[in-house]
Structure formats: structure tokens, C-alpha cells
Amino acid sequence: MPDRAALGGRLTLVIGGARSGKSAHAERLVTACPAPWAYVATAQAYDDEMRERIALHRSRRGEGWTTIDAPLDLVGAIEALPDGRPVLVDCLTLWLTNHVLAEHDVEAECRGLADVLSRPRGPWFVVSNEVGQGIVPDNALARRFRDAAGRLNQQVAAVSDTVLLMVAGLPLKVK
């Protein structure tokens, strides 16, 4: 096992805007741990744009990865993984979107996830989007989503050992 402190501890949150290099940076962090690695994908391919993005992300990952699809049951997917397996969850924002679209109890889901992530396991690397630094959205659904995403980021950051803000592909240490 590598030194956990050197890897940024048990739980690392990689947060950033669109195309800020979050996934690529998180992949570098995970692959600094010994293989095999688990990739927990939350994306659902609703349309061609999303299918293309998923294929691109998959093609960048090489040997040594197991991919688990968990668009909704992220808690179950994480719990089913063997102890000590380095895990990349990509990403919380899509997982939240899927629950919002399914009209699930988003607050309960977020509490459940934060609870699992606070357990003394890992190393886990979780990717999430910063979506709250633009102008207030016109429509109420977008505002509610933005609020839920911000609260989820806070909950996960609170139980993380390391929080990195990505800016133009570069990590800025927040915690």
C-alpha cells in the first residue's frame, strides 16, 4: 500500500467547473495507487452528446480498470467494492441529476451518500462540479438543482480529507 497521506488521505474530493480537468486529474490520483482500480460511472447516455462524452472518458482509461455503472445506486456500488480497492466516482453531479430527474428524495439520497463516504475506508476519489458561480438561473428547477448540488458538495467536502479545486487543469488545495 502507498502512504495514504501522500495520496491525500482516505477520501479526496476533486471539484471544478466544466472542462476544468477534474476527471483527468482524479484518474492520475487513482492510478498513483496500485491496480486494480474501480471506476464508478454515474453518467446515463440520454443523447448522442452524452454517449460521445462517456466513450471519450472510457477510451482514456486503459488496463487495470473495472467499470461499474451506478447512475442511481451509488451507495450500493461503493459498498459492494472490496476493501482497499482504489475507487474513482465520476461524478456526483450526474448522480444528483439522475435522482432529481427520477423525482427521488434528493435530501435523503445525499445524506445516505455522505454517510457512506464518511466511513474509514478508501482510498476514494470523488469528482464533482462547481455549478454555483454563474448568474442566478431563470428557471426554478435549475435553481433548485444548483442549491442541491452546492449542499451535496458541502456535505462531501466536510467528510473529505483532501479537497482540490481544479482551475484550468491545475489543482488548488482547499483542504
Active-site annotation, residues:
57
Q: Does 158 bind its own copies (CB under 8 A)?
A: yes
Between 35 and 60, whose beta carbon lies closer to its own copies?
60
The residues in 96-135 that bind its own copies, with binding defined as CB under 8 A, are 128, 130-135
User: Which of 33, 43, 126, 163 is close enough to bind its own copies by CB under 8 A?
Assistant: 163
Q: Does 156 bind its own copies (CB under 8 A)?
A: yes
Cβ 145 to its own copies, closest distance in Å? 7
Per-residue DSSP letter, 32: T
Burial of 62 (0-12, 13-18, 19+ CB in 10 A): exposed
Phi, psi angles (nearest 5°) of residue 104: -80, 170
Q: Where are the alpha helices (DSSP H) in the chain?
A: 22-31, 48-60, 74-80, 92-101, 106-117, 140-159
- By C-alpha distance, which of 13, 36, 9, 43 is closest to 26? 13
Q: Does 59 bind its own copies (CB under 8 A)?
A: no
Specify whether the CB–CB gap between 96 and 145 falls below 8 A.
yes
Between 21 and 81, whose beta carbon lies closer to its own copies?
21
List interacting residues with its own copies (CB under 8 A).
Answer: 13, 15-21, 49, 128, 130-137, 140, 142-143, 145-151, 153-154, 156-158, 163, 165, 167-170, 172, 174-175
Q: Which residues are annotated as a binding site?
A: 16-23, 41-43, 58-61, 90
